[in-house]
Amino acid sequence: MIIKTTNGGSSWQMLAGGGAYERYHGLYFIDNQTGYVAGYDQTNGLTIRKTTNGGISWSHYPVNHWYYYAMKVGIDFVNQNTGYAVGYKYLGNSGQVFILKTTNAGSNWNTLLPVSGQLPDYNFMDMDLKFLVSHQIGYIVGGLGKIAKTTDGGTTWNFLNKGTEANFYAIDFPETDQIGYAVGDSGYILKTTDSGTNWVRQFTGSGLSFYDVDFINNQFGFAVGARGVCFKTTNGGATWIPKNSNTTENLCAVKVIDAQVAYIGGGTGAISGGGVSGVILKTTNGGDAWISQTIPNNSPERSIQDLFFFNADTGYAVSGAAPTYGGGVGLIYKTTNGGQTWSINYSPSMIANFYAIDFPENSQVGYVAGIMGSSGQYKVIKTTNGGVSWTPQGVEGPDGIANVTSMSFANNLVGYIGYRSGGYHIMRKTTNGGANWFVMNTTTWHHYYDIEVINENIVYTVGTGGMIRKTTNGGSVWIAEEKKDERFEVENSNGSLVVFRIHSGITL
């Protein structure tokens, strides 16, 4: 479909496009009469069409079957004859970036890329490009915040450093929205002291992924993650001290009660899948020793995904399999004696996996997020009587089977969930305690791994590809936070400390 307006958008006219099976992603007009559309059809693969009469008729340029299922093709011309097209060829479980160039007004297109090693073959969908009038300088933008630049007319391309592309799994603002921490893959711990305007990387010496972080104030906290990794800080992350968690399982939840007492939950299936049962650990001496607690009805894939504690004695744990695992092992556990005993608080009668729990105001009203039912019709369950009973809350809309992997509430009425539906990741918001949920304008390829609600207006979320987003108006507008400043410390053999700082791609 191609539509046109001649009155500033007051009305639109349908133009004669191409075949019934063509999909257009890119459009560029040189002037009012001459323009191009780019996309693909199921017969000819990548297709480019051209008009010289303002869209009354379109010439067809089937390019090559090699580009079959080209996703989100971008197109740009620098003059009447020279133009470029960029796209992403879908290859099943992966893909490949391609860049084409014409010097004869679209009659023929030559392949500039793929060239092995120049651009990655993954997560570069939703692409577009723009060349300057010099023909030599051009830019490509794509999925997961990628930006590439050429200075030689598209022969070679280089990435521009806009921050890390590491996946982030958890975020925590312990006191206000000023100071916060985000943790993720490859040992990443970032800290902000200016409400997310700048993020500085903190050094632990570990390359293992961190799956959760929790602080009791701006200074004291724990970060836990893959293979039992556990670190503690008492000075706001200036130094992180490794602690022996007494397990090699993946740890995906930590709740710090005070300077002495903290809980950790996890299991091999917590993030990546596997067959080991869940674990709950507790320390009463500030992390120097962790003791394993007994979980009733424990079984393979029943990993502890999240924890919530009101005090040192009373708390909840929820279990679920890795999102890629098909089994339903969701249970809600509760303890009232500091984990000496855990009881099954809720066992659903249908297939379920639970990934997040929150009691926003008191011990009576709480929410658990995940997925329930053979067709995934329930994403959130709610209690209004302190866990005596839990009621499924339907999330309306044609979203298909979707795991809700992140959830956070500002109060008993206002909350957010993030989940997957097909190949997209979606965020919804409720303002009436889960009775209704509406889609936020944040649909993305990024996975929403964690949501941190500061209040009804200020919300942060983190996810794949280095994503950190923030809203200050209750979700009407979301801002991508840049990881601008990374600090690395390396200790020389003589004991001296060398500090490297990356700022906007420049090493200082």
Q: What string of H, E and C letters represents the secondary structure of 49-111?
A: EEECCCCCCCEEEEEEHHHCCEEEEEEEECCCCCEEEEEEEECCCCEEEEEEEECCCCCCCEE
Determine the average pLDDT of the residues in 329-341: 95
Is 50 exceeded by the pLDDT of residue 116?
no
**Residue 507 domain-assigned?**
no
For residues 181 and 171, what is the distance between their CA atoms, to the nearest angstrom?
Answer: 6
Q: Which CATH number characterizes residue 97's domain?
A: 2.120.10.10
Residue 155 shares a structural domain with residue 228: no
- Which residue bears the tokens 């601008």? 484
**Residue 496 domain-assigned?**
no
Q: What single-letter amino acid sits at 120?
A: P
Residue 298 shares a structural domain with residue 439: yes
Q: Which CATH number characterizes residue 420's domain?
A: 2.130.10.10
pLDDT in tens, 318-328: 998 865 555 56
**Residue 118 domain-assigned?**
yes
- Which residue bears the tokens 């889609």? 439
Domain boundary among 159, 184, 203: 159
Average pLDDT, the chain: 83
Tokens of 248: 């090699």
pLDDT in tens, 211-228: 999 999 999 999 999 999
Residue 183 shares a structural domain with residue 224: yes
pLDDT band at 152 (very low <50, low <70, confident <90, very high): confident
When mean pLDDT is compared over 300-304, 310-314, 371-375, the highest value belongs to: 310-314
When mean pLDDT is compared over 121-135, 156-170, 178-192, 439-453, the highest value belongs to: 178-192
Q: In degrees rounded to 5, what are phi and psi of residue 373?
A: 95, 150
Order of strands, sheet of 22-29, starting from the edge strand that comes earlier in the sequence: 22-29, 35-41, 45-51, 59-64
Is 90 exceeded by the pLDDT of residue 63?
no
Determine the average pLDDT of the residues in 155-173: 81
Determine the average pLDDT of the residues in 186-191: 94
How far CA 51 is from CA of 54, 77, 357, in Å, comes to 6, 14, 56
Residue 248 shares a structural domain with residue 379: yes
Show Cβ contacts of residue 336 under 8 Å, excluding neighbours closer than 6 positions.
Answer: 313, 314
Is 70 exceeded by the pLDDT of residue 499?
no
Residue 465 shares a structural domain with residue 327: yes
Quote the distance between the C-alpha of residue 468 and its chain's center. Answer: 8
Residue 305 shares a structural domain with residue 254: yes
Say if CB 304 and CB 276 are below 8 A apart: no
Q: Is the pTM of this model over 0.75?
A: no
Determine the average pLDDT of the residues in 15-23: 70
**Residue 241 domain-assigned?**
yes
Q: Report the number of distinct structural domains present in the chain.
A: 2
**Residue 505 domain-assigned?**
no
Residue 204 shares a structural domain with residue 124: no
> Where are the extended beta strands (E) located within 271-359?
279-283, 291-293, 303-309, 315-320, 332-335, 343-346, 352-358
Beta-bridge partner residues of 497 = 491
Say if CB 242 and CB 189 are below 8 A apart: no
Show Cβ contacts of residue 116 under 8 Å, excluding neighbours closer than 6 positions.
Answer: none
**Residue 343 domain-assigned?**
yes
Residue 75 shares a structural domain with residue 184: no
Residue 264 shares a structural domain with residue 145: no
**Residue 499 domain-assigned?**
no
Residue 233 shares a structural domain with residue 327: yes
Q: In the chain, pLDDT over 90 holds for what percent of residues? A: 47
Order of strands, sheet of 303-309, starting from the edge strand that comes earlier in the sequence: 303-309, 315-320, 332-335, 343-346
pLDDT band at 484 (very low <50, low <70, confident <90, very high): very low
Helix (H) or strand (E) holding 35: strand 35-41
Tokens of 190: 């970032």
pLDDT in tens, 351-367: 888 999 999 999 999 99
> Domain span at residue 41?
2-159
Domain boundary among 159, 182, 210: 159
Residue 113 shares a structural domain with residue 179: no
**Residue 495 domain-assigned?**
no
Order of strands, sheet of 70-77, starting from the edge strand that comes earlier in the sequence: 70-77, 83-90, 95-102, 110-113
Residue 393 shares a structural domain with residue 476: yes
